[in-house]
Each structure stands twice: as structure tokens, then as C-alpha cells.
Amino acid sequence: MRKAILAAIELPKQEFAPAILLEELTLLLENLDIQTAGTVVQRRERPDPALLFGKGKVDEVALFCRAAGADLLVCNESLTPGQKSNLQKTAGVEVWDRPFVIMKIFEKRARTSEAKLQVEMALCKYEIPHLKGLGAQMSRLGGGIGTRGPGETEFERHRRKLERRVRDIGRKLETMKHKRTLQRDRRRKMEIPVVSLVGYTNSGKSSILRALSGDTSLVAENRLFSTLDTFMRRVDLPSGRSILLSDTVGFIRELPPGLVAAFRTTLEEIVASNLLAVVLDISSPDVQDVRNIVEQTLHEIGAGEIPRLFVLNKIDLISPDVLSAVVDRLGIESSQLIAASALEKRGFPDLLASFDLFLEKMEASQR
């Protein structure tokens, strides 16, 4: 098993504390079978443009890596190509950043051809600007005035190959996008409302879809990003109405823009929904922050104005008193809240009744 040292910078007025970010980064790396051997945090007024950290801190990290037997340095911050290259030279180990870690997990989890293409596109777009940092490894000295060395030729060849692959994937994803659009048009003609389960990764969305639909073939696992594709199942409501209940990729802090762009086709399924069921892990100590991240992500993908309910999942992990305190802290209207446990199938009658009530209001507004 690989060992990694995790590093982060603490900046003034930072939205999330480094301890929270590094704890989450540790969980992300566990999903790649990488063990965290230690963490380093440096307080700075601003990131160093060349190394992210100060030179003295990087030298300290290099010693830390050798002492801990770590062959990987993982920075919580997104690194520029120059910073990544300089850190690798100074620290003497391979360097990753948070966006790359998340993309590697997506790569590991991707099952369908669409998900695999979306992840590959994100990785290609990430790699292209970072190729310059590989210059010394990809080149050999070439001689002669006006000649181009074989290293430069290799660099350009690899860059063109990646750019060509991005174009090829883009064309394939456009075809898949067209198919999805046709599928949505058919659903509209059938007049079956779509309710999307959205939320942070590992909040229990897939477990809820599996339980409500009765489809045991759906994968619902206690791990990050177990779902990267959109799954839709028909669910019958108490009134006799039916809905299509949808589950798609989970959100996370600082989801890499490249992944958001690559998964745009998948995320459009959320934007086309009639109702959102925001699933929150009520046992999480930072549930308020998680809710804010989910809301922010929904706005970024164009789903900010869609009506929503909040499903407080995993109530089996907390006491009623804690549940009451968290509900008060969230400040969400009681009519929009459903306390549930996907594991114990508690709260589902209230959730289905809430779906029914929403549809009644939607139909009344359309008359």
C-alpha cells in the first residue's frame, strides 16, 4: 500500500478549516488504497506562486516524506503546472493535488461507457497543461542551430494526442447528449414527473432509490462516489400517481471544474427535474456546511430554482434530541423536511406523501 503525506495551506478568511479538508482528503485517498502517513499545514497570507508553500516548509515536508517512508505528497489545493513540477523536484516524491485525487476515484468507479468517457476527458484536460512540468523527463538534448530536439517533438506529439482524444470524446458525448435529450422529450410526452435525489457523496441517495423502487440490482455501497451514472426507476405514490425517481453523481467540496464540465450531460438530468430531494447525512457533524455546498453546486449547474425537499437521512445513527437540535440549526421549514433512515426504511411513507403533495400543487398551478 502506498503512503502519502497530506499538505494544506491555511489562508485568512478561508471557507473551510484545513483540518476538515485534510480529514476528507484522507477518506478520499482510502478509496484509492493509499494510507495517510501524516499531515502538514502552513499558515500563509497567500499561496507561494512557485511552490504553494514556503521553501523552508517544502524542505521540511521532504524530510517528513523520507522519515515516514511516503512516496507521495498530496496537496489539498489545486496546483498550477509550475507548482506541481517544482514541488516534485524539491520534495523528491510524486505530487498530486485534490482535483487529481477525485478524478482518480471517478476513474476507478466508472462502470458505463459514458462515465468512463467523461472521466477520461477530465483527466486529459487536466494532463495537457501539466505536460510542461514533465519536460525534463520527456526530452533529450538535441543539437544544431534551428533544429528541434527529440524531447520537444515528444512533448508536442503527446500534447496533440491528448487534444485529439478530447475532441473524439467530445463528439461521442455530444451523441450521448442528443440521446438523453430525446429520452427526456419522451418522458415529457408521457407526463411522468421526474424527482431527482441530489446531495453530497455517500449521503445515501442510492440506498433510498433502491429501497423505494425495490430494485435490488442497484448498487448502494458505503463509500464515496459509488454512483457516477444516472439511474431512473418508476416509483408508485400513495395517490396512485407515478414518478420517475432519479439518482446521479454525488457532490463534494471543491469538485474539480473539469469533472463538472465533463459530467455536464449527466448533470443535465438534474436540471430537467420537476422536484429535487436533497439528501443530507444528518449524522455528519458538518451537515450545515454540506447543505451549503450542495446548494452552491445546484446553482452552478443551473438547478438553483427547482423546488426541493430535504431528506435528513441516517436518523438511525443519532438520538431524537440531536436530530431536533440539528433541525433547528438548519433552519428549514418543517413542511420541507423528512427525517428518514434508508437502512431501516423509516420515514418513507412521509417522503412519498410529500412527493404526492408537491404533485398536487404542481397540477393545481397548471390548471
Average pLDDT of the segment spanning 198-217 = 88
Q: Is 83 exposed, middle or buried (0-12, 13-18, 19+ CB in 10 A)?
A: buried
The model's pLDDT over 136-185, given as tens digits with 9 standing for 90+, comes to 444 444 444 444 455 556 778 888 999 999 999 999 988 988 887 887 77
Using the structure block, give the residue that is written with the C-alpha cell 433510498. 208
Q: Which residue has the higher pLDDT, 227 or 273?
A: 273
Query: Mean pLDDT: which of 40-54, 139-153, 180-194, 353-367 is highest?
Result: 40-54
User: Do the Cβ atoms of 363 and 191 come closer than 8 Å?
Assistant: no
Question: How far from 46 is each of 49, 86, 256, CA to CA, in Å?
Answer: 9, 18, 21
The model's pLDDT over 67-124, given as tens digits with 9 standing for 90+, comes to 999 999 999 999 999 999 999 999 999 999 998 998 898 888 787 788 888 889 889 9
- CA angle at 186 for the pair 183 and 192, rounded to the nearest 5°: 105
User: For residue 268, is pLDDT > 90?
Assistant: no
* pLDDT reported for residue 172: 92
End-to-end CA distance of the chain: 62
Residue-range domain boundaries for the chain: 2-105, 110-136+149-190, 192-366
Among 89-98, 176-185, 235-244, 252-261, the range scoring the smallest mean pLDDT is: 252-261
User: For residue 276, is pLDDT > 50?
Assistant: yes
Fold match flag (2-105 vs 192-366): yes
Secondary-structure class of domain 192-366 per CATH: alpha beta
* pLDDT reported for residue 220: 66
Among 63-77, 139-153, 234-248, 340-354, the range scoring the smallest mean pLDDT is: 139-153
User: Do the Cβ atoms of 219 and 206 come closer than 8 Å?
Assistant: yes
User: Do the Cβ atoms of 210 and 160 come closer than 8 Å?
Assistant: no
Percent of the chain with pLDDT over 90: 49
What is the fold, at CATH topology level, of the domain defined by 2-105? Rossmann fold (3.40.50)
